Amino acid sequence: MTVTRFNYVRHDGKGSWDISELVSEITWNTDINYSAGSLDFKALDYGGSWKAHGGDYIDFQWNNQPVFKGRTFRETIDGHQTFSVLAYDNTRYLKNEDIIVFPANSAQERFQTIMQRLNLPYKSVGSTTRKLPELVCDGNTYFDMLKQSFELVYSQTAGSLWGREQFFVWDNYGVVELRAVDYNTRTDILFKDASSVSDWSFERSYDDSYNVVKVLWESDDEKKKQRKIFTAQDKNPNAAENFINRYGTLQKIEKANDNKANDAQLQAQAEAKLSELLQETREFSFTALGDIRIRAGSVAWFQSDALAGIGLTGNQRFVAESVSHKFGTEWTMQVKGRFL
């Protein structure tokens, strides 16, 4: 396996080069936690007309498989006549800040509004028609606008027959796509600790979790200010499994999502947030031989006899939250994931 395309095009259209024979130490990074996809590489300055400049276009394929399209944002050159270049894909522009008042509409519609403002290629692979309350964004990044909307969908789908809906965006070779974890990103790949991975570790934590949630509602009437509190807490009758008994009270305060909501809706908000926060995080990382199907957002399987010792038997399904591919003589990837 090798670099089969590495086209470099000047931003002003005054030059185009195939530098596939000049590049080395290529690293492709993706992350679903609202970070732009990036490509780092080194390239030899051979004394010809090619030079690295900010804003230039990159088109990279590995073993005839499309991997990355983007623009250069940083370049340095050292005493060995070697450029070090950092490029971002189109999700970089989701760091732009803007002022938008979203009406009561869906996260998918908000994604489309943002992409139309950016005038970038986009596609809704994952879809959601769930209507969200009005959202006022004053100087927020587009990433933050999407985060607020996606997290609200996630909390509202607690207890759904099909499970929680977790949305994210990635750049698919120049096209920014809205996707749903698992529904649009599932693979049948199984990683085994004894045969296909190395340097793996697993962490189970309750440090960022809560077992009591209170939702605060305040009236809009400034003259006759009213407040109500709606509480949800772990009521597991099994004392050994009740997280309040196990960890003590860990309390979270949330503001009402909609001041026009009735008491039942506000109580439902508290229960949904509790369901989201009332769980241990189960994160792990590993190194494996590269597979282009695995990128941030991909869902695959992991199996380890060591995990069986702590109750995680059989094949465990996980979502890759960040992936770093290192292309070279030996193609490897570092994966950080979360069990589903």
pLDDT tens digits, the chain, 340 residues: what are they? 799 999 999 999 889 999 999 999 999 999 999 999 999 999 998 777 888 999 999 999 999 999 999 999 999 999 888 999 999 999 999 999 999 999 999 999 999 999 999 999 999 998 888 899 899 999 999 999 999 999 888 877 765 545 678 899 999 999 999 999 977 788 999 998 777 888 889 888 889 899 999 999 988 777 777 889 999 999 888 877 788 988 999 999 999 888 888 899 899 888 888 888 888 888 889 999 999 999 999 999 998 888 887 878 888 899 999 999 999 999 999 999 988 8
- Which stretch of DSSP H or E encloses residue 135? strand 135-141
- Cα–Cα distance between 56 and 42 in angstroms, integer? 15
Based on the number of CB atoms within 10 Å of its own CB, is 146 exposed (0-12), middle (13-18) or buried (19 or more)?
buried
Strands, sheet with 175-180, edge to edge from the N-terminal-most edge strand: 122-124, 175-180, 167-172
Q: How far, in Å, are 30, 36, 110, 241 from residue 171 at the CA level?
A: 9, 9, 17, 41
- pTM for this model (two decimals): 0.86
In the chain, what's the furthest Cα-to-Cα distance?
Answer: 75
Helices (H) and strands (E) in the chain, counts: 5, 21
In a 3-state reduction of DSSP, which class is residue 340? coil
